[in-house]
Amino acid sequence: MIQLGVNIDHVATLRQARGTRYPSPIQAAVIAESAGADAITVHLREDRRHIQDRDVEILRDVIQTRMNLETAVTDEMLAHALRIRPQDACLVPEKREELTTEGGLDVVGQRAKVKAAINMLTEAGSRVSIFIDPDLKQIDAAKELGAPVIEIHTGRYAEAEDLHTMQLELERIRVAVAHGTKLGLRVNAGHGLHYHNVQKIAAIPDIRELNIGHAIVAQALFVGFKEAVREMKQLIEVSSRLSAS
Ligand SMILES: CC(=O)[C@@H](O)[C@H](O)COP(=O)(O)O
Ligand SMILES: NCC(=O)COP(=O)(O)O
């Protein structure tokens, strides 16, 4: 069964907008787990626009499932991840000025840097994942450098403005998942997934985990956080079962 990692970054976005104590990402993590989340994902960005260092520290003690800590490949952020020692550490690209993560990490173009990060995090006890485009060369490089997990960036599929582009992107993701799985990698996926586009991704055989945040936090405004997580978990399960039958 596909696992669901709930990304709680945007609970913190709302808090940071006013500098209040609420809403609490810690409370969100506890509720998400009680609603069936298999992991809690947070992205401590270099500009600290949402999740803060203190959140990550508290979450590390509170999370009962797994912490999936997304981290840029910089000295500062890696030092932080090495101190936190999350169960899963996901290497992501980061641009200060971007609205949201725009693409996958360029593993091919910075092999030495990525290899060093994988080695350090693995030694610290984290399972390392690489957030990567559905690009076979990047997947081969991730495997070559020893990453046990990849997370396929689904952003282009999610942002497609017409059906034809969406189908093309979906096919790229399907091929990438099959390729990564054949190489022996655990293949996760995520970014931009919501209640109306997750079905086709969840139906792809061999995807192990979906990381979803923005849409769940948005849905929580109307149905509550627990129900929003439950609804997403159920959609994923039904779509994955239907495709298998
Ligand atoms: C890497 C990724 O997909 C998530 O961390 C996502 O980026 C979080 O939201 P923001 O991009 O808005 O920080
Ligand atoms: N790695 C993807 C993630 O954590 C969630 O991204 P989004 O659902 O907030 O776009």
Q: What is the CATH number of the domain that holds 120?
A: 3.20.20.70
What is the reported pLDDT for 243?
87
pTM over cut 0.80: yes
Pocket flag, ligand 2, residue 80 (CB < 6 Å) = no
Residue 66 Cα to ligand 1 middle (Å): 18
Is ipTM strictly over 0.95?
yes
Pocket flag, ligand 1, residue 43 (CB < 6 Å) = yes
What is the reported pLDDT for 15?
98
* Backbone conformation region of residue 109, classed left if phi is above 0, alpha if psi is from -120 to 50, else beta: alpha
Task: Using pLDDT thresholds of 50, 70 and 90, give the confidence band for residue 95.
Answer: confident
The H-or-E segment that residue 231 falls in is: helix 225-244
Protein residue whose Cα sits closest to atom 7 of ligand 1? 101
Helices 25-34/225-244 angle, 10° precision: 40
Q: How many structural domains are present in the chain?
A: 1
- Short-list 226, 185, 176, CA closest to 35: 226
Provide the domain limits for residue 139. 3-243
